[in-house]
Amino acid sequence: MSVNSLHIFIPDLCGLGLSFNIGGLGLVMAIISTYMWIQTSLFSVEYMKHAAKKPRYFFFLVLTYISTTLVFLSDDVYTTFVFFEIMSIASYVCVIHDEKEKTLRAGGVYLAVAVIGGLVTLMGIFLLKDLVGNLSYETLRDMCEAVLHGGNTSKIRQLYIAAGCILFGFGAKAGMFPLHIWLPMAHPVAPAPASALLSGIITKTGIFGILLLAVRVLPNDSGFGDVLCLLGVITMLLGGLLGIFSMDIKRTLACSSMSQLGMIILGCGMIELLGEENAIAVRGTILHMVNHSNLKLVLFMAAGVIVMNLHKLDLNEIRGYGRKKTALKCVFLSGAIGIGGIPLFNGYVSKTLLHEAVVEYMMHLHDAQRAGLFKAVELLFLLTGGMTVCYMLKLFICVFVESNTDKKLQDEYDKGRKYMSPLTGAVLFVSAFVLPAFGILPFLTLNRIADVSEGSLYGGALEHAVNYFSLENLKGGLISIVIGVLLYVVFVRKLLMIKNSDGDLVYIDRWPKKLDLLTLVYEPVLLVILPAVFGFICRAADFLLDGLILFLRQTTHSQLRERKRIPEGYLRAYYLGTITNKLEDLCRSFLGKGKRKNNYIHILAGKQFVLRESHRVINASSAFSFLMFAVGIIAVVIYLLLA
């Protein structure tokens, strides 16, 4: 635990009380969160200048900031969960700001993953609370270790189930495979400032939760470490592959986030596996969290300048836009170099530490088969680094080097028109300046951040200072660069580009449309298979119940007779219609008019049918269901606050 930290407990709030710890990694991430929100809010002044519903956007932007920051500063699992859920609901409104059909669908997927992940996490918290009694981070590690070493099989099983449930919820927010489906969908449709926050800091709340699991719930557990390594490797490879194939600048950056988050999850796994000698893994994981936040702030805001001016995302349409925009070119290039792991920029430092953590673990292994597996992990890590170089090279060359195939459009792009305000330019310059500052002076910047943070993750003592610019470490970075350049030249230029009818090379989308986890698995399972299975069970139960009732009426209860036949399912319409019929008959009899022509029972039954169908259609809407869940959560939080 961090020595210099401030503990705050607010009793009775939200039922169990809320506790906070201002220090260590949480404080570092809270500071980065504040910095990112200041930068994106200033950027939003111009970006949202002509947008509708700006007050709503800024209100939920602030609410998301407060809840995100309090997630990092929380000091128990319950407090983390409360603000994690508030953050998920508040950020949803930022994602769907323009309310277009495509945006609402992406927002619906984001909210569905958040809600389902939250419910599963809550189940895990209940199991954990039942098992150890106290959810405070200060005592949680010791209590969980007592369970793991206590020899009680049922309690150990319950602890693993609880950890699995909590991993599900936090992993979903971290874009971890196979719960990554929201990430490539939400980023392209959200406003660029919101995308920067989603990618740069909100996903880190998921990583924060995974780290808490790794160091406090299942500390030094090799099995859990293997799971995290496997999920991390799949996530980083899939993200890199999707990024190379992507035809949309913001989607490419979103897939890049997925890939980098996979590297961080791999780092979480190495923390588990290295045990007491996890210093390099802890520092690499922390610093890649910090670096990725700064990198995505720069890249998404630079992409936002393009979207703000062109309202386009397709690479063929924005191609050549930045050829003569030197300031924007330099800003984007700094982000591209940084995330590509090029020496003298921040991404290189943290990637070097993560790579060294894998190598160090292999050196401690005596099992040749396991050593071979982690040699493959090391090679896949370097390959993923090469993929990052490849898709960032693709974006940079497309937007800032090549000319658009439409000559008139290129002439329009090359005109020296103002494309961003001085305020936006200052925000981009300051954000971009951080990247080489961290990379050139890692001993004065990043190392100090790691020193302040590592105590929160029980990092071991660093045996020797890391020489980031040694030949061995530079070699790893160089291998990834060479792989990236080769992938771009051979794969992108030869397979992902074709000549159009005019003989010009254009980018094409070769990713198979059927290879979409959402439409291939989740939608069929959640919207077709499960409703069909449970619908069949309910119909079978209804059939058996009706058969039982019919049997009883024909045997033991045959003497019972209905006095009057009431229209089935329309009891209110029957009684209200009967009263109305009687009243009209009475009035007509008194006034001497003829017989009544209308039967109000049938009229009101028809009205009730229409209302019932409308109600059924509304309730069947997934958006309505999630909205009602959000309203319920808010109502419960308000009740707990006032109780």
Q: What is the pLDDT of the chain when averaged over all its residues?
A: 83
Residue 178: asked if its preceding bond is cis (omega within 30°), the reply is yes
pLDDT tens digit string along 16-52? 778 888 888 889 999 999 999 999 999 988 888 887 8
Q: How much of the chain, in percent, has pLDDT values that exceed 90?
A: 23
Give φ, ψ of 74 to 5 degrees.
-70, 150
Least confident of 103-117, 249-263, 343-357, 627-641: 627-641
> Residue 225 in contact with residue 189, Cβ under 8 Å?
no
Q: Which residues are bridge partners to 9 per DSSP?
A: 19
**Is pLDDT above 60 for 590?**
yes
pLDDT tens digit string along 370-422? 888 888 999 999 999 999 999 999 999 999 988 888 888 888 888 878 888 89
Q: What is the DSSP letter of 464?
A: S
Closest CA to 229 of 328, 354, 322: 354
The DSSP code sequence of 177-230 is TTS-THHHHHHHHS-HHHHHHIIIIIHHHHHHHHHHIIIIISTT-HHHHHHHHH
Distances in Å between the Cα of 195 and the Cα atoms of 190, 307, 452 are 6, 12, 28
Between the CA atoms of 220, 291, 57 and 639, what dihedral angle is there, to the nearest 10 degrees? 20
Please tell me the predicted confidence (pLDDT) of residue 154: 85
Least confident of 146-160, 267-281, 612-626: 612-626
Top mean-pLDDT range of 216-220, 263-267, 473-477, 611-615: 263-267
pLDDT bracket for residue 593 (50, 70, 90): confident
Please tell me the predicted confidence (pLDDT) of residue 476: 83
> Residue 201 in contact with residue 91, Cβ under 8 Å?
no
User: So where are the chain's domains?
Assistant: 1-219, 276-489, 572-643
Least confident of 268-272, 297-301, 317-321, 631-635: 631-635
Residues 595 and 614: their CA atoms lie apart, in Å, by: 34
Give φ, ψ of 619 to 5 degrees.
-65, -25
Residues 7 and 13: their CA atoms lie apart, in Å, by: 16
* Dihedral angle sign, alpha carbons of residues 101, 102, 104, 109: positive
pLDDT tens digit string along 463-502? 777 788 888 888 888 898 999 999 999 998 888 888 887 7
Q: What is the largest CA-CA distance in the chain?
A: 110
Please tell me the predicted confidence (pLDDT) of residue 98: 79
pLDDT tens digit string along 498-523? 888 777 888 888 888 777 777 777 77
**Taking the CB of residue 526, how many other CB atoms lie within 10 A of it?**
14
- Look-up: residue for tokens 């635990």? 1
Please tell me the predicted confidence (pLDDT) of residue 496: 87
